[in-house]
Structure 1
């Protein structure tokens, strides 16, 4: 008895092996990436920058590529001041057959901070990593099992640190950067390491709004004085106005120039309006004619003066509260 082996199964198997090889060849190199943030030294709102001391590690399979020498940080500030140290002379083999390398990097990074809700603003400190030469069809970043860890001993004055996160995405560019060998524009794999920070609300209230309220109350006392004390009433209101202007310059000195009104700007504008209303009421109620006699409206006698004071001040506080709620909730 003779057996004939059909060549069809062998040809089918060969085709499958060839297709599998082509499929594997078409797959991008996967580079596992992770970060440990050792320290955050400072956050400078005026320059939109922050200093970070970090460790960044890579693991990959193919020894023909070197993701450590190819990567770059995409949001550096003052690149010449950065310090990068590769900890191992050569990539270290791992038990799973991959190669491992780690880099320590210290420097300033940049992000455009939104300040609409200042002094209750929440910011996002981001460190962005991207390969310089290989596009996403050639190399993609993969987050490690614990892709980002932050030193628990970090204390950032004036801020609270939130939970760190990592986002991997393809970053498209609208240009081939003049490379004629690339007929199609392809995106690059990008890893974004994010640390949210926020200001404690209690300190924002005590340091920012309590002094303003005290100035407003000082101006309100002008409405409680007897109309015959013309100089004292005008002096209280004008002094409150000048103090408010000086305080605004001091509070805004640590902020950059922005084209919109922050929450603090709106509160100061409402405070200016309040003091101008107080000055108007004082002038209306305490006019002096050429003979030195007191002339004016009778609305600001001591009993009605308290009513006017409480009404105007209550309206101001309600207006400021509405401004704050609209800014924080929207």
Structure 2
């Protein structure tokens, strides 16, 4: 049926016959088809469904805090601004219950990026005013009944116990204080490794008010960071990472629910977050992951300069090498809903490899035609091949490096 249709068209329309017999026109049609397919695939990938955003809001308050200034670290929450800072400071001064809390991390270990989570042990110390102590005594509770870990993964195995006396100590200023030793597994909530392998990792310890009766909301109880005594110990370093710093701050945690306690449609609680930030050496990451990839790409790009009977086999071998290299580094990472920087580099390398393979096929076809053509045509084809062989390696490498730079700029902004 198809053959009959083609014959009918070529009889009634001579231009269709010329197009059918012109291989260069069909090459143009094939290239156009690939471009259209690439555009459709790009539109499809860009039209993927966006993740539903959380209804919770985290705002950095006006309380004294230390912000981690390490550039690769991810910002947490949005700071208050303008009149919000003044209003929050006034609210802090009038708050009925206040807890000065600090965290001292002795050791972080057992990072599991597939969860993602980590294990940690250290100390938590708190001192609170007399009004809160009276509230605790009236409800027959301890401070641990109202201040909980927010991001512990396994509460059953999390251990937090008083260091010294089980009862809080009365301080000289009339406040009450107590120190606790903790051990537990914690969830990494601010997890984003889109810059991998030049990424940073923040390991948080999160404390938040556990409100049993609706009287310990943000308006009534505040967790004020103890900047002076918080910090990290000598065993907090991780193998394979360098320590970038730590931060501590109070956040206003807005929940879009009141848990049925009162008539309000939402509730806000004071939250304290202690972050330890780790990073990787850029030079180490480059020499271990980027440099081997560039060597492999240089080998396939330079294949057009090699006169060998194995020209067709080498690009296929390089493609397989790229696949194994990507699988090798991805095995240590969790399933991600986005492409990392290294993933984007591999995409560029796959495209360059396919173009190199297509160029090898084209040069092989040109050499066959040189043997079958007259001297003038052979010289013209030889000049074209010489131009391609000389221009393709430097141009393709330059385009690859520029594309890598553009990807980095796009992913860091």
What's the TM-score, normalizing by structure 2? Answer: 0.66
Unaligned runs of 5+ in 2: 1-93, 137-141
Contact 1:83-1:105 at 8 Å conserved across structures: yes
Cα separation, 1, equivalents of 2:113 and 2:340: 14
> Does residue 122 of structure 1 match 2:200?
yes
- Compute the displacement of 1:270 (Å): 0.2
| CA separation of 1:137 and 1:248: change in aligned 2, threshold 3 A | same
- Compute the displacement of 1:240 (Å): 0.9
- Compute the displacement of 1:280 (Å): 0.6
- The residue that corresponds to 2:399 in the other structure is 315
Cα separation, 2, equivalents of 1:325 and 1:171: 32
Instruction: Encode CA deviations 1:138-163: one digit per residue, 9 max, x unaligned.
Output: 32112224152111443212222223
RMSD: 2.6
**Runs of 4 or more off by more than 3 Å in structure 1?**
183-186, 287-290, 293-304
| CA separation of 1:132 and 1:280: change in aligned 2, threshold 3 A | same
- The residue that corresponds to 2:278 in the other structure is 197
- The residue that corresponds to 2:11 in the other structure is none
Contact 1:30-1:142 at 8 Å conserved across structures: yes
- The residue that corresponds to 1:12 in the other structure is none
Contact 1:131-1:189 at 8 Å conserved across structures: yes
> Which of 289, 297, 300 does residue 208 from structure 1 map onto?
289
| CA separation of 1:288 and 1:104: change in aligned 2, threshold 3 A | same
| CA separation of 1:183 and 1:113: change in aligned 2, threshold 3 A | same
> Does residue 29 of structure 1 match 2:97?
yes
- The residue that corresponds to 1:325 in the other structure is 409
Cα separation, 1, equivalents of 2:340 and 2:299: 25
> Does residue 272 of structure 1 match 2:350?
yes
| CA separation of 1:152 and 1:300: change in aligned 2, threshold 3 A | farther
- The residue that corresponds to 2:218 in the other structure is 136
Kindly report which structure 2 residues correspond to 1:119-198, keeping only aligned pairs within 5 A, or say none.
Answer: 119-133=197-211, 134-146=216-228, 148-179=230-261, 182-184=262-264, 185-198=266-279
Contact 1:285-1:300 at 8 Å conserved across structures: no
> Does residue 78 of structure 1 match 2:154?
yes
| CA separation of 1:186 and 1:309: change in aligned 2, threshold 3 A | closer
Cα separation, 2, equivalents of 1:157 and 1:259: 27
Cα separation, 1, equivalents of 2:182 and 2:249: 20
Cα separation, 2, equivalents of 1:194 and 1:46: 20
Unaligned runs of 5+ in 1: 1-25
> What is the DSSP-based 3-state SS (H/G/I as helix, E as strand, rest coil) of the residue aligned with 1:72?
strand
> What is the DSSP-based 3-state SS (H/G/I as helix, E as strand, rest coil) of the residue aligned with 1:79?
coil
Cα separation, 2, equivalents of 1:119 and 1:178: 45
Cα separation, 2, equivalents of 1:92 and 1:127: 24
Cα separation, 2, equivalents of 1:153 and 1:52: 11
> Which of 17, 32, 43 does residue 111 from structure 2 map onto?
43
